[in-house]
């Protein structure tokens, strides 16, 4: 007996069933994958998108829906453009030399060279240092034993000293001293510009310009023997130092 041929309608109905099954499986897979797609695809696009059109991507914009703001330095919820005190240090930006940081000063004595014997002809001396900023002592260093007439790297560095941000210039004072044969501390002359023979003529005084950004730096050196005030009857002990002064952010301790 011959089989009855399959009609076109039966073939079409079968194809529809298979297609429907495939579509159902695809929909189920999309529903299962939707959370992953949302998390990994759409969120990535959102982060790199610039919602407010200010040229700053959302992931870098503190105010992604405000085209007039994108930075909040002090985290007070007010953008820098509207905030009159960006670093929240109590000094209005119009008077603040470093408006986006609470400015401080850091002083480092990099090298010392004691140029004269301090006790007889002993090849070493016991050396100390003191640093003051705006007439306030910040740090003292030593005592340490150093060879005479040899440049010695010491890297003595003060902690950060907070200064008024509305003042452009600040007074930095460095004193270097040695122990004499009686164990008493005496100043070494490190001020090559002052030929005075009194004690303050030996102290190095520096006027430091704060600048208007964190990281502003001033390097210098001073050699006490350059003042030519030694004589037959008066010989002071001279030394040379190299130093670095830096403007830093007091909220970020280096």
In this predicted model, what pLDDT tens digit does every residue of 69-111 receive, in sequence order? 666 666 667 666 766 676 777 777 777 888 888 999 999 999 9
- Return the CATH number at 241: 2.60.40.150
For the residues 50-54, what does the mean pLDDT come to? 76
What is the number of other CB atoms lying within 10 angstroms of the CB of residue 105? Answer: 23
- Write out the two tokens for 190: 């490190």
In a domain, 130, yes or no: yes
Our count of domains for the chain comes to 1
Residue among 88, 56, 54 nearest 73 (CA)? 88
- Write out the two tokens for 211: 């600048």
Domain that holds residue 216: 103-249
In a domain, 132, yes or no: yes
Distance CA 131, CA 108 (A): 9
Strand segments, DSSP code E, in 148-209 are 152-157, 161-162, 169-179, 185-188, 204-209
In a domain, 230, yes or no: yes
In a domain, 1, yes or no: no
Distance CA 112, CA 155 (A): 9
In a domain, 30, yes or no: no
In a domain, 18, yes or no: no
Contacts of 105 (CB under 8 A, 6+ apart): 133, 160, 161, 163, 170, 172, 208, 210, 245, 246, 247, 248
For the residues 133-147, what does the mean pLDDT come to? 96
State percent of the chain over pLDDT 70: 74
In a domain, 237, yes or no: yes
Decide: 142 and 155 in contact? Cβ < 8 Å. no
pTM: 0.71
Decide: 186 and 177 in contact? Cβ < 8 Å. yes
In a domain, 211, yes or no: yes
Residue 227, Cα to own-chain centre: how many angstroms?
Answer: 36
């Amino acid at each position: 007996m011959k089989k009855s041929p399959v009609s076109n309608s039966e073939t079409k109905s079968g194809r529809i069933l298979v297609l429907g099954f495939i579509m159902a499986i695809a929909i189920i897979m999309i529903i299962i994958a939707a959370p992953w797609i949302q998390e990994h695809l759409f969120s990535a696009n959102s982060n790199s998108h610039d919602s407010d059109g200010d040229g700053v991507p959302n992931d870098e914009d503190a105010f992604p829906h405000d085209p007039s703001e994108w930075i909040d330095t002090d985290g007070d919820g007010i953008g820098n453009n509207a905030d009159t005190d960006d670093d929240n240090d109590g000094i209005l930006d119009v008077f603040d030399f470093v408006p986006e940081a609470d400015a401080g000063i850091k002083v480092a004595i990099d090298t010392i060279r004691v140029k004269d014997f301090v006790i007889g002809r002993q090849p070493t001396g016991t050396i100390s240092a003191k640093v003051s900023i705006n007439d306030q002592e910040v740090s003292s260093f030593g005592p340490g034993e150093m060879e005479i007439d040899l440049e010695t790297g010491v890297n003595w560095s003060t902690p950060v000293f907070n200064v008024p941000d509305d003042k452009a210039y600040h007074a930095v004072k460095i004193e270097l001293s040695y122990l004499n044969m009686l164990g008493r501390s005496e100043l070494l002359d490190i001020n090559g510009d002052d030929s005075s023979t009194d004690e303050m003529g030996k102290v190095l005084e520096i006027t430091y310009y704060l600048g208007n950004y964190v990281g502003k730096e001033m390097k210098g050196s001073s050699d006490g023997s350059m003042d030519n005030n030694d004589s037959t009857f008066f010989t002071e002990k001279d030394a040379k130092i190299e130093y670095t002064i830096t403007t830093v952010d007091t909220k970020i301790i280096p």
